[in-house]
Amino acid sequence: MHMGLAVWSGLSAQCCPTLPILRTHSSGASSIVPSIASRTNFWDGRVEVWRRRERAAGWECGWFVESVAESMSIRRGMLVVTNASKRRRWKSEPLVNGSVTKRALHIVKILRSSSNLLPDEIDATLQKWVTSMQPNRKDWLTVLKEFDNRLERLLYLKIFEWGLLQSWFEAGVRDYTKLIDKYGREGNVVEAEQMFRIMEERGIPADLGAFTVLIAAYGRAKMLEKVKQVLQDVSLAGLELDAVFYKTVIVAYGSVGMPKEAEDVLSSMESAGVPDGKDAYLALLNAYGRLGHASDAQRVFDRMHLKGFRGDLKAFTALLEAYSNAQDYANAELVFQSLRAAGLKPDDRALASMVSVYAKANMLNRAAEVIVELEGAGMRFGPVTLTSLIGWFGKAGLVEEAKHCFQELKRKRLPISGKAYANMFAAYARAGELETAGSIWASIEEAGIELDHRECAVMAEALLAGKVHEQSVEIFFEALQARGWKSLTAVEVAVADRRQVMA
Q: Which residues contact 337 (CB under 8 A, 6 or more apart)?
A: none
Beta bridge partners of 32: 22
3-state SS of 47-61 is: HHHHHHHHHHHCCCC
- Minimal CA–CA distance to 271: which of 259, 283, 279, 263? 263
Element (H, E) at 74: strand 73-75
What string of DSSP letters covers 127-165? HHHHHHH---HHHHHHHHHHH-SSTTHHHHHHHHHHHHT
Q: Give residue 20's pLDDT.
A: 40
Q: Which residues contact 19 (CB under 8 A, 6 or more apart)?
A: 12, 68, 71, 81
Task: Report the distance separating Cα 355 and Cα 368, nearest Å.
Answer: 9
Is-contact 209 241, C-beta < 8 A?
no
Q: Give residue 167's pLDDT.
A: 77
Question: CA angle at residue 335 from 334 to 340, to 5 degrees?
Answer: 100
Phi-psi category of residue 220: left, alpha or beta, with phi > 0 → left and psi -120 to 50 → alpha: alpha
Task: Report the distance separating Cα 298 and Cα 295, nearest Å.
Answer: 5
Q: Give residue 265's pLDDT.
A: 96
Distances from the Cα of 408 to the Cα of 237, 245, 415, angstroms? 53, 40, 11
Beta bridge partners of 95: 99
Quote helix, strand, coil % in the chain, to nearest 5: 65, 5, 30
Cβ neighbours, 10 Å, residue 338: 14
Q: Give residue 236's pLDDT.
A: 94
DSSP category for residue 466: S
Is-contact 384 420, C-beta < 8 A?
no
Question: CA angle at residue 247 from 246 to 250, to 5 degrees?
Answer: 90
Q: Give residue 326's pLDDT.
A: 92
Residue 431 has, within 13 A of its CA and on its CB side, a CA count of 23
Task: Report the distance separating Cα 288 and Cα 283, nearest Å.
Answer: 9
Q: Which residues contact 315 (CB under 8 A, 6 or more apart)?
A: 281, 282, 285, 301, 304, 309
| 111-129: b (≥16 Cβ within 10 Å) or e | beeeeebeeeebeebbeeb
Backbone dihedral angles phi then psi of residue 82, each to the nearest 5 degrees: -105, 125
pLDDT tens by residue, the chain, 503 residues: 444 434 334 434 444 444 343 333 444 443 333 333 333 344 455 556 655 665 555 544 444 444 444 444 333 333 333 333 333 332 333 334 445 577 888 888 888 887 677 888 888 999 998 888 888 888 888 888 888 887 888 888 888 988 888 877 888 999 999 999 999 999 999 999 999 999 999 999 999 999 999 999 999 999 999 999 999 999 999 999 999 999 999 999 999 999 999 999 999 999 999 988 999 999 999 999 999 999 999 999 999 988 888 889 999 999 999 999 998 989 999 999 999 999 998 899 998 888 888 887 888 788 878 888 888 888 888 999 999 999 989 988 999 999 999 999 999 999 999 999 999 999 999 998 988 999 999 999 898 888 888 888 899 888 888 766 666 777 787 888 777 676 545 445 455 554 444 44
Centroid of chain to Cα 147: 14
Is-contact 90 79, C-beta < 8 A?
yes
DSSP category for residue 100: P
